[in-house]
Every structure is written in C-alpha cells, then in structure tokens.
Copies of this chain bind each other. A is one copy, B any other.
C-alpha cells in the first residue's frame, strides 16, 4: 500500500506538504496540489485511518452496542432496523461503525470503558440494554458520548431518542372513537411493563376526554402472547356483543384476538375492529391486514447516530429527540355501523 512517504518521494515534495495538499490546506500552491493529487491517485494512495486516528486522538468511529445479538433477536426487526438507520446515517456523516454485543465472552473481562478506550470510540449508541445492565450505568457515567434509543436518560455526554409512545397510542384510540366506536376493549400486556402502563394511560385518557366511562371489564390481559390473548378474548367477546372495537397493546395479541373472532364466526372488521401495536412483519400478511401503530426504528437509529456525532463534535444540540410512531391504516378497522 502506498503511503504518504511514497507520494512524497514520487512527487518530490515533503511528507508535510503532501499531507497538507491532500487535506485541502490552503498554504499549498495550486500546481503542487494538482501534481500531488495526480500522483496520489496514480499510486492508489489512501490514507491509513489507524495512523490518522492515532495522532488525532479520535477514531471517527461510533460503536453500536446492543444486548444479545443472537439468533433470537432475528425476529426482532426492531434492532435490525435501528442498526440500518445508524449505519446509513453514520456513513453519510463519514464515520465508521462497529457493532458491539454485550453477550460476547469479552464482557466478563472488559469494562465498558475499556471497550471504548481500546478502539478509541468517539461515541456509542446503545439499544435494547436492560435498565440494570452494568454497561448501561457505566455508559452514562462515562466521558465518551453516548445516546440511548428508547431509554430516556439524559446526561452531560448522554442523550436519547425515543418515540411518542403516549401520543401515538392515544391517536389509535381516538381513531376508533372517530369511527363511531364507543364500546372499546383494551387488550393489555404484562401490566407492570413500562409500555403497558403508557398504553393503558392512553386508553383511559382518550376515553375520558370523550366522555366515555371506563369499564374495567373491558380491559383484558393477554400477557403479550398470542395464545393468552385468544383465550382471554374468546369468552369476553361472547359476553360482550356490544363491543365493536379492540385496541391491543401489541400485534401478537391482536393476532390472538383475530383468531378468537375467527373461531366465533365473527368478521373483522365488520363485527369487530382491531388495532394493534408494533407493526410486526406478520401484521401486513395476516388476513385482514392489521391496522396498527408502528414505531420507526430506522428513523430512531438515524437520529441517534446524528445526535451522537453532534455531541462528539461538540455541537450544541438538544440531547433528546423524538420520532413519531405512525398509525398504519390497513383493513382491520372500519366504521361502527351499529
């Protein structure tokens, strides 16, 4: 591989001048620069990023730290999509990008700080770590900038990007109400999970703002599982024929409800409108395709990457960002005709 020195020799200029020419400094003659450029190209010179990083004390690389990059996470397009976002944005900003997984054997031996130090990471974006992961705590304390996706923790070198969980859930319920539904069931997941409470709040608030009394019997618990959701909704739908719509805290539970309707001979959306949450891959293939509120992990990844780079470069930017969840209209919801 051609080095600066090679170009220097071939061109007759000093290493310094070659470097400055190639880096666009203005204290080099146009002719010299052209000549150097030409020769550099001829020799197929490309700068050694390692050497550059070493002296500049910054590597222009960002780490993407995830938990459990494993086979299991395959179904979870969420992580993959954020990854894509991060990657795209970083390559646009001309940064490198390395993938760090907390499950590697290394974690036992290495602290988060060492991980960053070794590779001279300029910053890191973190996704999907458990709230009590030691790396997470270290990251927040650390001096190397990091931004978290979907974990709202702010700090001097720390930012986060998350989505408008509450607003989007409310929007979904409002949508049902606008279509004339008054008797709306809510299929909740594990009731203590963060997202569950948020979505339940949304449900409650929108009902209230529309003057609809909350009926405790209408809130079910499907435990974020398809089978459980089906089992719990079967008797419910039998006993509550007045219910015309169901808002589900996740798509998988929505699928469970869908199955229940099928077994009862009900038609979706004519007899029951169903709206899910997550926009899982399957939701658009199922019949009828599921109306759902989808997050935009790709966008979150992009924003996270952008933010971390901004922090790295010392720009004064807000350390929080939001991306809007979107209500994705498909065919499992219709007007209430009763």
Which residues does A use to contact B, with CB under 8 Å? 1, 44, 46-51, 53-54, 59, 61, 69-71, 73-75, 77, 80-81, 84, 87-88, 91-92, 94, 96-99, 101, 104-106, 110-111, 113-114, 117-120, 281-282, 285-286, 298
The answer on a CB contact under 8 Å between B104 and A91 is: yes
Q: How far is the CA of A132 from the CA of B88 in the complex (A)?
A: 23
- What's the nearest-Cβ distance from chain B to residue A191, in Å? 26
The answer on a CB contact under 8 Å between B117 and A99 is: no
The answer on a CB contact under 8 Å between B80 and A99 is: no
Q: How far is the CA of A104 from the CA of B71 in the complex (A)?
A: 27
- What's the nearest-Cβ distance from chain B to residue A144, in Å? 10
Q: How far is the CA of A54 from the CA of B51 in the complex (A)?
A: 6
Q: Which residues of B are found within 8 Å of A120, using beta-carbon distances?
A: 48-50
Taking A71-B81, A75-B281 as contacts, is the C-beta distance between A96 and B96 under 8 angstroms? no
Q: Which residues of B are found within 8 Å of A81, using beta-carbon distances?
A: 71, 74
Taking A50-B120, A54-B48 as contacts, is the C-beta distance between A84 and B74 under 8 angstroms? yes
Q: Which residues of B are found within 8 Å of A53, using beta-carbon distances?
A: 50
Taking A80-B80, A282-B281, A298-B71 as contacts, is the C-beta distance between A119 and B96 under 8 angstroms? yes
The answer on a CB contact under 8 Å between B91 and A105 is: yes
The contact of A84 among B47, B54, B69, by CB within 8 Å, is B69
Q: How far is the CA of A96 from the CA of B46 in the complex (A)?
A: 21
Q: Which residues of B are found within 8 Å of A59, using beta-carbon distances?
A: 50
Q: Which residues of B are found within 8 Å of A285, using beta-carbon distances?
A: 282, 285-286
Q: Could you write out 18 A-B pairs with CB less than 8 Å apart?
A: A44-B111, A46-B117, A46-B118, A48-B54, A48-B118, A50-B59, A50-B119, A69-B88, A71-B81, A71-B298, A74-B77, A75-B281, A87-B99, A87-B101, A88-B104, A91-B106, A97-B99, A98-B99
